[in-house]
Chain A
Amino acid sequence: RKEVEQDPGPFNVPEGATVAFNCTYSNSASQSFFWYRQDCRKEPKLLMSVYSSGNEDGRFTAQLNRASQYISLLIRDSKLSDSATYLCVVPLADRGSTLGRLYFGRGTQLTVWP
């Protein structure tokens, strides 16, 4: 089983729609999680960090289900500018290491159309 698995999509939604992306991870010892956004031919940029059951930042909500080893990202009221690839990221489980190594999912592609 891969460390991080995501539905690659693509998701094509109209402006104003609500869309959700799912991600599963294999290492139950992982404590914190991240969602990154990557625009076409650009570097990934941190979108949200998830340290507990979830958090919300404006139109974006990230949820974590540790029992199911499942992370989700919900985008409400989609904008054209939300079109990008969204990467689910899981750190190497904490074993006293301070390396901060991350496992990146392959990403879910989102296109928001007018």
Chain B
Amino acid sequence: SQTIHQWPATLVQPVGSPLSLECTVEGTSNPNLYWYRQAAGRGLQLLFYSVGIGQISSEVPQNLSASRPQDRQFILSSKKLLLSDSGFYLCAWSVSTSGRQFFGPGTRLTVL
């Protein structure tokens, strides 16, 4: 069966510090991978998606970047965090033909 992992689970970082969040998927090959952010009291916002290694599409201009160095690894990064980067970051995977997405447990980021 497929599983998706994210770490860390929680993170508190000062403004201006770098960020690296990692997501890995097991039990499937060539998944579509997604990064979402959910701010407090708000809906899910798609940040990045990837259909293959090295292929990244950005949904909104922002202070973040993503990379996919391996088929089942997706990384979200920032060089300098802003207060507005605080939120719940969720990684998801899908098999393209079904459209359904399955989420990792998320990383709760607080920028102080």
Contact = CB atoms under 8 A, between A and B. Distances in A.
Contact of B108 (A41, A45, A49): A41
Contact of A99 (B32, B42, B104, B108): B32
Contact of B43 (A98, A100, A106): A106
Contacts of B46: 101-102
A100 B105 contact: no
Interface in B92-106: 94-106
A101 B100 contact: no
B90 A43 contact: yes
Interface in A34-50: 34, 41-46, 49
A54 interface: no
Interface in A51-91: 87, 91
Nearest to B44: A104
A32 B43 contact: no
B103 A43 contact: yes
B51 A99 contact: yes
Contacts of A102: 46, 99, 101
Q: DSSP class of A's interface residues: helix, strand, loop or mixed?
A: loop
A100 B94 contact: yes
Nearest to B97: A98
Given A98-B51, A99-B51, A107-B43, A46 B97 contact: no
20 contacts: A32-B99, A34-B99, A41-B88, A43-B105, A44-B90, A45-B103, A46-B102, A87-B44, A98-B32, A98-B51, A98-B96, A98-B97, A99-B49, A100-B95, A100-B100, A100-B101, A102-B46, A102-B99, A105-B43, A106-B42
Interface of A: 32, 34, 41-46, 49, 87, 91, 98-102, 104-107
